Amino acid sequence: MLTSVDFQMKTLVLVDVRALDVVRRHLPDEIQAQGVDTAESAGFNLVSDRPVVGGVALTGQGASLRAALSDGPFHDLPIAELDPDQPDAVPVTLFRLLLTGLQGAYQQMGDARSAAALLRGEKIAMETRFREIENLLYTLGSPQVVNALTWPAAGGMLTLAQGQTVAQVLPLNVVSLTAIDLWCPQVLTPQIAQLSVAVEDVSGAIYKMQPAAPELGLETGWLRFVLAAPVDGIGRDCRLVVRWSGEGSIRLALGQPVPDKRFQATILDGSATDETLSLRVWKSVGGVRLPSCTPSTAGARSVSIRSADFLSAGNLPRPQIFASPPASTDHVSAAYWHNEDSILVHPSRSGAACAIIRDVDLAGLSHLSALVTVGHNRAPHMNFAVGVAPHGAVDDDGLWQRRLGTWAVGVPPHGWAEAHCFPVEPITGRADILLATSLATDVPNDLSWGLFRGFRISLGTTREE
């Protein structure tokens, strides 16, 4: 016969009704004694969500309790017998019973953990297989080369002394990674060997990268480091590690500041910047030819560069508007923005505007490039160009357009680009730098903030082919 059950109790003990009074005097409140009438011939069954830790009967009556439980789910329950004539032994017997139940619970927990570990191992193996299939599908049906990450240079620089190392966590997995481009405005080909570049993944594997020779004989500051083969396997996080072993120091370009400290460029002596390294990450399948690291060309020129350096906008004389469309009635201006350390050239809707920076020592200039950006998020798409002329030459003839290099076209709001030019006339002394902007579409020129953030000056010799 079942007595009333309080289902709020956390643990149950099945007790022969003849031993209930003895047991209840010694059990704590957290454990419920559930009475079982061994005289019931139909057997015992109990529906409860509480764990049952054991059974209790008086001395010599354990077999009858076992028989009453034999047809139900509690047939193998541990049973303890109590002697009412030895009251001091009752708590010890009950404690041993509860301890046996606890050990059984631990055994069940261990079995459950083992089963969970087995299922987890099977799940990982299945996910690995799915990743391999996904990689195969990517190889067969997706683009064979992709620019997986771009952090453009923003004008800031990170200086590494000899022997220093900078690390940069990449927000992508390492699988299929093929090459990384770094913007190093000072570094020329002979110095690349002193710049050690590697990718490390979270498993501890290290993939050393080798420098690639610049194409078309032109060096724009972008250096490419490649792997012998794309990284394979399943997806895993990675970071870029760059070490400088050359004499003196080297400057690496920085991108935009990022709020997440994990992606900030960190020198391994503990110091960190707010920005990322400026880089481009390429993923591809094996054997695919990557796009050129230096897309601008010298045309019919053969360029030899003996030195290069980067100048921020604040290191140059202040700009002036040199030319604007004659029929323009809207706002056209040029100014140096101190807080942004950049030069603003605001064009007209009617056409391009050109600013001039006068009297800069550029003797031996062979190539000039400018970091440009559209500074407002509601600006129209813009075009940028940079040019150079011997000091005073453009004032004499007014032909500023022919001295501009190739236009960087369609730069979107907050977008970044590089504008390049090669001198039309030899620069043997002081020179004037020309900065031109225009709108890519016929829209009002409101908020057309065309910003020039800095300039890479390459000195050397240039001769016509």
Taking only the tens of pLDDT, the chain with its 465 residues reads 334 344 344 677 788 778 777 777 777 777 777 777 777 644 566 656 677 777 888 887 777 787 777 776 776 778 888 777 777 777 877 777 777 777 777 777 888 888 888 888 888 888 877 777 776 666 666 678 888 999 999 999 999 999 999 999 999 989 889 999 999 888 766 667 788 999 999 989 999 999 887 665 567 888 899 999 999 888 889 999 999 998 888 899 999 998 888 889 999 876 778 999 999 999 988 878 888 877 555 554 545 678 889 999 999 999 999 999 988 899 999 999 999 999 999 999 999 999 999 999 999 998 899 999 999 999 999 999 999 999 999 999 999 999 999 999 999 999 999 999 999 999 999 999 999 999 999 999 999 999 999 999 999 854 444
Q: Is residue 101 classed as helix, strand or coil in its secondary structure?
A: helix
User: Please, what is the end-to-end C-alpha distance for the chain in angstroms?
Assistant: 110
Position 7 scores a pLDDT of 38
What class, spelled out in words, does domain 1-142 have in CATH? alpha beta
The CA distance from 295 to 372, in Å, is: 16
| Of 181, 126, 417, 441, nearest in space to 291 by CA | 181
Give CA angle at 63 (59, 69), nearest 5°.
120
Position 45 scores a pLDDT of 62
Position 58 scores a pLDDT of 80
Burial 316-346 (b: 16+ CB within 10 A, else e): beebebbbbbeeeeeebebebeeebbbbbbb
The CA distance from 404 to 401, in Å, is: 6
133-137 contacts, C-beta under 8 A, 24 or more apart: 135/175, 135/176, 135/232
Query: Cβ(331)–Cβ(449) under 8 Å?
Result: no
Domain spans in the chain, listed from the N-terminal domain onward: 1-142, 146-284, 301-464
Query: Cβ(455)–Cβ(341) under 8 Å?
Result: no
The CA distance from 16 to 440, in Å, is: 92
Q: What is the pTM of this model?
A: 0.67
Query: Cβ(62)–Cβ(81) under 8 Å?
Result: yes
Give CA angle at 289 (287, 294), nearest 5°.
150
Position 142 scores a pLDDT of 65
CATH fold of 146-284, please?
Answer: Jelly Rolls (2.60.120)
* Residue 366 CA to its chain's centroid (Å): 37
The CA distance from 185 to 174, in Å, is: 27
Position 2 scores a pLDDT of 37
| Of 451, 458, 129, nearest in space to 294 by CA | 458
In the 3-class helix/strand/coil scheme, how is 77-135 assigned residue by residue? CCEEEECCCCHHHHHHHHHHHHHHHHHHHHHHHHHHHHHHHHHHHHHHHHHHHHHHHHH
Question: Cβ contacts of residue 96 below 8 Å, gap of 6+?
Answer: 80
The CA distance from 189 to 211, in Å, is: 9
Dihedral (Cα; 377, 379, 381, 383), 10-degree rounding: -110
User: What token pair was written down for 405?
Assistant: 């290099």
Burial 33-71 (b: 16+ CB within 10 A, else e): bbbbebeeeeebebeeebebbbbbbbeebbebbbebbee
DSSP 275-324: EEEPEEEEEE-TTPPPPPSS----TTEEEEEEEEEEEEGGGSPPPEEEE-
User: What token pair was written down for 38?
Assistant: 């061994």
Q: In 46-115, where do the E strands start and end?
A: 52-58, 79-82
What class, spelled out in words, does domain 301-464 have in CATH? mainly beta
Q: How far is CA 94 from CA 62, 217, 230, in A?
A: 14, 89, 66
Q: Which residue has tokens 């003839």?
A: 397
Q: Do 146-284 and 1-142 have the same topology in CATH? A: no
Position 9 scores a pLDDT of 43
Position 207 scores a pLDDT of 96
In the chain, what is the greatest distance between 2 CA atoms, to the nearest angstrom?
Answer: 125
Query: Cβ(211)–Cβ(225) under 8 Å?
Result: yes
